[in-house]
Amino acid sequence: MRQMAARPMKDDRGAGPDEHKGLRPEPDAPRPEKARRPKVLVADDDLDARTMYGMYLQRMGCTVFTAIDGESAVDQAMAVLPDLIVLDLAMPHVTGWAAAKRLRRSPLTRGIPIVALTALPGARESARMSGCDAFMSKPCLPQLLWCEIRLLLGLEPTPAPLS
């Protein structure tokens, strides 16, 4: 039996049965008074990077899920339908490029913004061609990644990390 490589960083997934119909609200749609926590999938084969970004995003109010390679990133994305995916491009088994292409082909995940995050020089154009919405070079401060995530999701600035 194959062990699932991806796991949520929190046990509470908070998704109701009708929450995931594959529809995304219009960017200008009114937000409810108490906004729900954005779900972010962080896919990176580097444990330190996964942990650093995941912990920072949790402190900023996100529910974070993780994946260790492109295959588990696609599996997790289909299972949780995150609001955004942070995707390392150079991963084993299935690369981030291939994972982004798979995610764009699926009706369930094609509308989920993907931020490519990699240390590979010159990967910006290939990331865009694979379907990524944004590109950030490693090393990347978690604060800069959070700014990009906020822009893509249309979130208000967070004044301070949540405890």
> What tokens does 51 get?
């942990």
Predicted pLDDT of residue 156: 87
Look up the pTM and report it.
Answer: 0.77
For 4-33, the pLDDT digits (tens) are: 444 455 433 343 333 433 444 444 544 444
Interacting residues of 32 by C-beta distance below 8 A, sequence separation 6+? none
* Top-confidence residue, 38 or 34: 38
* Top-confidence residue, 161 or 101: 101
Contact 147, 110 (CB under 8 A): no
Q: Of 98, 75, 73, 87, give the one whose Cα is nearest residue 133.
A: 87
Predicted pLDDT of residue 94: 94
For 93: left if phi > 0, alpha if psi spans -120 to 50, otherwise beta; the answer is left
DSSP-based three-state secondary structure for 161: coil
Amino acid at 62: C
